[in-house]
Structure 1
Amino acid sequence: MPRSWHSADGLEMCRLIFLFFTFAVFWSFSRAQGVKHLMRQLTYCHIEMMDAGFELEFDGEELWHVDPNDYTAKQRLPEFAGDWTLDRNLPSLAHLSIGTCFYNIPRCITGEKNPPESIVPPSTQLYTKSDVKLGVENTLICSVTNFHPPPVNVSWTRNGELVSEQDVSETQYYSNPDFSFRLFSYLNFRPEQGDIYTCSVRHRGLERDITRFWEVDVPEDSQEVETAVLVIGILVGFLGFVVGIFIIVMSKMELRAV
């Protein structure tokens, strides 16, 4: 990012981390059903860590975000790529918007005489995407919600050991109507009896990390019951087939006798 976006004097005076939001809110109405929708543009910047973000949201779901490292636009939900056409000016708009954020924040801080920063710690939950079956691939979801400001750091362990980064993915920072943020971290895993997973979240509003535990605990009798039900179902089906054939044969024999 060009240095002309930054103010050295403003950055030296900045002792706290501030965020700048630029919201462009558009309401559209479905002609067919009269349903109200919300499209929102979000820009934020992190002064001390020199971090920033830019994204477009539709009804609370991300459509596109622009990577501030190389200013390339990336789609969160590629399966809907055919329904949304990327504006070629989006990367340029993101560059301008993020630059304006970095330029204006130090001046706003000075103009407002160093107002106190709003710091809100996150809430977290840990749950699975699907019902758990031993040996069947699943996804653990760690939701981090209602925090301000970014960033948050999420780490995963399995039985006390850090998991491979290849098995972990994260969303961008989603915005909430009250200017707080939410983020989701995903861990792909194969449940094995007794395994213990943790999701730890770090944020500057927390005195210590929040750690959620999740243990693979599938009762063995439930597996046996499922197997027994499957076997019984197969036997009942086979028995019904045999009885049906027997009835058909007997009916034909009776007709011939008549």
Structure 2
Amino acid sequence: MQHDEGPVPGKHLLRFLTFCQKDVAGDGQYDIEYDSDQLLYVDPITYRAVPRLPEFAEQWIPDPGLAKDTYVSLGTCKYNIPRAIKGENSPPEAIVIPTSLIYPKQDMEIGVPNTLICFVNDFHPPVVDITWTRNGQFVDQSEVSQTQYYSNSDFSFRTSSYLNFTPQENDIYSCSVGHISLQAPLTRFWEVEVHTDHQTVATAVCVCGVILGLIGVVTGLWFIMKANKYHWV
């Protein structure tokens, strides 16, 4: 269920999004988005508003009635699912395969704490299981956090999983995504690569060697042409 208040002057879009799923216990989400960026979501258990970016929390004061609105909206969503299915003659659920991408949050330096991001996009329904490994071993879940599900304009969803890590040479990380559309998890790998001074010097020497070789060839051809010129004269 989605309510759009826009577009408004300046072509900005404020959207209140409610979604729930049939036969999924404890499932449901209510959030407020502005120009496709989530401002906040309401925890479906505690009904407390959680800002997407805590540093901007003071700039967005939730309506005191937001908890009640969420309770009513999620309840209405659950109530309407079987009736909507019956009214539409039990249409098949849209199943869309996710895509994923893994990358570091900041420029990488060996031994400097960083964050790996596994961005999962374009999937439906909005339930994915994301797991991380380091050198083939599952990482401690205390190092991992995940965003809420964000909606795309085509009603598919996206989410991001964050892994705090300290890069070490030759470490290999993987992010695996499980989804109802997949027969096997979708897995991406990311390896810590180090470009040392030795590699830089070796590359420079190689390039210089090639350049000197080309200069030698050109010089040789010049002398041959010069000799032929005098020979014919």
Query: In structure 2, do the counterparts of structure 1 residues 110 and 189 end up closer, same or farther at CA, with 3 Å as the change threshold?
Result: same
Q: Which of 6, 13, 22 is the equivalent residue of 2:2? A: 22
Residue in 1 that maps onto 2:106: 130
CA contact (8 A) 2:29 2:43 kept: yes
- Residue 37 (1) aligns with residue 1 (2): no
Structure 2 counterpart of 1:24, one-letter code: D
Q: Distance in 2 between matches of 1:222 and 1:188?
A: 29
Q: 1:80 aligns to what? A: 56
Q: 2:2 aligns to what SS in structure 1?
A: coil
Where does residue 144 of structure 1 map in the other structure?
A: 120
**CA separation in 2, counterparts of 1:222 and 1:173?**
45
Q: Distance in 2 between matches of 1:68 and 1:47?
A: 16
1:199-210 pair list within 5 angstroms? 199-210=175-186
SS in 2 for 1:107: helix
TM score, norm. by length of structure 1: 0.74
Please name the residue that 1:105 is paired with: 81
The answer on whether the counterparts of 1:132 and 1:218 sit within 8 Å (CA) in structure 2 is no
Kindly state the Cα deviation for residue 94 of structure 1 after the two structures are TM-superposed.
Answer: 0.7
Counting only pairs closer than 5 Å after superposition, residues 45-124 of structure 1 correspond to structure 2 as 45-50=20-25, 51-124=27-100
Aligned-partner Cα distance in 1 for 2:156–2:106: 28
Q: Distance in 1 between matches of 2:30 and 2:134?
A: 33
Cα contact 1:202–1:208 (8 A) shared by 2: yes
CA drift of 1:223 comes to 9.1
CA distance in 2: counterparts of 1:153 and 1:222, whole angstroms? 42
Question: 1:36 Cα shift?
Answer: 2.0
Query: CA RMSD of the aligned region, Å?
Result: 1.6
Q: Mind listing any 5+ residue stretches in structure 2 that lack a counterpart? A: 202-233
* Contact kept in structure 1, 2:42 and 2:70, CA below 8 Å: yes
Counterpart-to-counterpart distance in 2, 1:56 and 1:80: 14
1:224, distance to aligned residue in structure 2 (A): 8.3
Aligned-pair identity in percent equals: 51
Q: What TM-score comes out, normalization by structure 2 length?
A: 0.82
Secondary structure in 1 matching 2:82 = helix
Q: Secondary structure at the match of 1:46?
A: coil
- Cα distance in 2, alignment partners of residues 197 and 167 from structure 1: 13
User: Does residue 171 in structure 1 map to residue 136 in structure 2?
Assistant: no
Which residue identity is paired with 2:15? R
The whole-number CA distance in structure 2 between the counterparts of 1:192 and 1:28 is: 49
Partner Cα distance (1:185, 1:128) in 2: 12
| 1:213 partner letter | F
Count the aligned residue pairs. Answer: 200
TM-superposed deviation, 1:27: 2.9
Query: Which residue of structure 2 lines up, in the alignment, with residue 243 of structure 1?
Result: none
